């Protein structure tokens, strides 16, 4: 009897699953984060081919803005059911499906001469890559301890910004050497390869590989999200003060960065400073690098400080001041680039919002909150990119270059006033939030 009793604890320990090894957790997460990288690349790629797109499709600035915004329209719509899909299909299946669809949409965009069909392809890419961020966060929740969530959120955004970096100088050089259509076909092949990697390497939870799940117990015990439940929960999350403040504030960060570096920044820099397209892309690349580096640092220092609001608000204030100086102060190129780098670094504070929002609602709403914050992110470029294009067309002086409209610097400054305004509004909204002290509501 004594021997049997003494053997029992050992048997229990032997049957208890261990935490997944670090290399396996990182492998799973990196595949998902690479898809998010591709999403950012596809999202911002029109910025370095504005002239080619306007020429080949015969469109003006407002139409180019709409074309780019089709990505965000579809992305926004998909944020609502993505929470259901990631719960019912699983992160792995959703990642594979998203990769295949994104590759198809990119191929369609590259193969057509029709503006309408290209816009449909752009929308397909937006809808399919909408799953990237939610899948990345979902796998981080299941494969890593909770204390690393904010850091992984920052790293995820950094991966996205690396994708945006590829869509600057490297992409511009490729477009000049092989043409934008060949680049589109190659991009489609790369995205399809990510889906293949997901099929081979990704699992939804460590338990599928014989390891202990790292998801919080409350989340593991929660009922699966259904579309009806999600639609009921979505309005409910806005009854919590921080949620709607963060939701509206996010566009001031993401909208500003993606509208400038992702579409209108390169042609503006060409016009203001007389740069070549590759030189203008280099300035935007500097901004993207700073944004990428700042994102994980913001999450890390927020975790170490045990506070969300100081870093989030501090970044918003610095960014609002930076955008104002960039557009309305007569800076030389070197000074402009330095201020742009600081402004972009400040925008890295945007990542704090994901942890801040998750801590501001009950656990039962965690399946909905990440998608809601991401909708807030995408409202910025969805509204700003086409709106800037409309202002440019309204202020067009009639100048043409190789059959493409040329816009004056004053027209850009008038349009960019919307970026500055939203950045200032974000400061006010974040100032009204309540600190969570890194603790779940």
Tell me the pLDDT of the chain (441 aa) as tens digits: 344 444 444 444 445 778 888 899 999 999 999 999 999 899 888 888 988 999 899 888 889 988 988 998 998 888 778 877 777 788 999 999 999 999 999 999 999 999 999 999 999 999 999 999 889 988 998 888 877 777 787 788 778 878 888 888 899 899 999 999 999 999 999 999 999 999 999 998 888 888 888 776 655 555 566 666 666 767 778 888 899 999 999 999 999 999 999 889 999 999 999 999 899 999 999 998 898 888 888 988 998 898 999 999 999 999 999 999 999 999 999 999 999 999 999 999 998 998 899 889 887 776 677 778 878 888 999 899 999 999 999 998 888 777 778 899 999 999 999 999 999 999 999 999 999 988 887
Give residue 310's pLDDT: 95
- Please write down the HEC assignment for all residues of the chain: CHHHHHHHHHHHHHHCCCCCCHHHHHHHHHHHHHHHHHHHHHHHHHHHHHHHHHHHHCCCHHHHHHHHHHHHHHHHHHHHHHHHHHHHCCHHHHHHHHHHHHHHHHHHHHHCCCHHHHHHHHHHHHHHHCHHHHHHHHHHHHHCCHHHHHHHHHHHHHHHHHHHHHCCHHHHHHHHHHCHHHHHHHHHHHHHHHHHHHHHHCCCCHHHHCCCCCCCHHHHHCCCCCHHHHHHHHHHHCCCHHHHHHHHHHHHHHHHHHHHHHHHHHHHHHHHHCCCHHHHHHHHHHHHHHHHHHHHHHHHHHHHHCCCHHHHHHHHHHHHHHHHHHHHCCCCHHHHHHHHHHHHHHHHHHHHHHHHHHHCCCHHHHHHHHHHHHHHHHHHHHHHHHHHHHHHHHCCCCCEECCEECCCHHHHHHHHHHHHHHHHHHHHHHHCCCCCCCCCC
Check residue 367 and give its pLDDT: 62
Instruction: Give the C-alpha separation, 32 to 205, whole Å.
Output: 13
Whole-number pLDDT of residue 2: 42
Question: Distance (Å, rounded) from C-alpha 157 to C-alpha 346?
Answer: 14
Rounded distance between C-alpha atoms, residue 428 and residue 347, angstroms: 15
How far apart (Å, rounded) are the C-alpha atoms in residues 145 and 128?
Answer: 28
Distance (Å, rounded) from C-alpha 303 to C-alpha 325?
Answer: 31
* pTM for this prediction: 0.78
For residues 250 and 380, the answer to whether their CB atoms sit within 8 Å is yes
Strands 400-401 and 404-405: antiparallel
Residue 301 DSSP SS3 = helix
Distance CA 326, CA 264 (A): 14
């Amino acid at each position: 009897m004594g021997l049997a009793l003494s053997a029992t604890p050992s048997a229990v320990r032997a049957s208890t699953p261990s935490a997944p090894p670090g290399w396996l957790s990182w492998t799973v997460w990196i595949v998902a984060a690479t898809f998010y990288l591709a999403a950012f690349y596809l999202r911002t790629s029109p910025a370095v081919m504005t002239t080619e797109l306007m020429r080949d499709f015969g469109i003006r600035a407002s139409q180019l803005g709409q074309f780019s915004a089709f990505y965000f329209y579809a992305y926004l719509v998909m944020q609502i059911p993505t929470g259901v899909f990631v719960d019912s299909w699983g992160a792995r299946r959703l990642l594979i499906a998203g990769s295949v669809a994104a590759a198809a949409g990119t191929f369609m965009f590259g193969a057509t001469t029709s503006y309408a069909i290209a816009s449909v392809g752009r929308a397909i890419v937006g809808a399919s890559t909408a799953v990237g961020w939610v899948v990345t966060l979902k796998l981080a929740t299941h494969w890593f301890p909770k204390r690393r969530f904010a850091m992984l959120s920052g790293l995820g955004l950094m991966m996205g910004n690396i994708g945006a970096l590829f869509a600057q100088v490297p992409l511009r050089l490729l477009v000049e050497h092989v043409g934008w259509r060949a680049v589109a076909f190659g991009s489609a092949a790369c995205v399809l390869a990510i889906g293949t990697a997901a099929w081979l390497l990704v699992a939804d939870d460590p338990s599928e590989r014989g390891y202990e799940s790292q998801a919080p117990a409350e989340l593991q015990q929660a009922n699966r999200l259904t579309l009806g439940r999600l639609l009921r929960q979505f309005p409910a999350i806005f009854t919590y003060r921080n949620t709607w403040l963060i939701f509206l504030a996010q566009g001031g960060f993401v909208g500003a960065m993606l509208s400038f570096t992702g579409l209108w920044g390169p042609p503006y820099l060409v016009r203001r400073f007389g740069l070549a397209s590759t030189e203008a892309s280099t300035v935007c690349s500097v901004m993207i690098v700073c944004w990428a580096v700042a994102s994980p640092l913001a999450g890390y220092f927020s975790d170490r400080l045990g506070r969300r609001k100081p870093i989030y608000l501090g970044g918003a204030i610095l960014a609002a001041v930076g955008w104002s100086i960039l557009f309305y102060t007569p800076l030389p190129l070197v000074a402009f680039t330095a201020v742009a780098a600081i402004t972009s670094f400040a925008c890295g504070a945007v990542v704090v919002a994901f942890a801040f929002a998750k801590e501001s609602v009950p656990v039962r709403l965690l399946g909905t909150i990440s998608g809601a914050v991401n909708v807030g992110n995408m409202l910025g470029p969805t509204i700003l990119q086409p709106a800037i294009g409309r202002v440019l067309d309204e202020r067009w002086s009639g100048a043409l270059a190789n059959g493409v409209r040329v816009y004056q610097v004053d027209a850009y400054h008038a349009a960019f006033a919307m970026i500055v305004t939203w950045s200032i509004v974000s400061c006010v909204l974040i100032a009204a939030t309540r600190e969570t002290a890194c603790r779940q509501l």
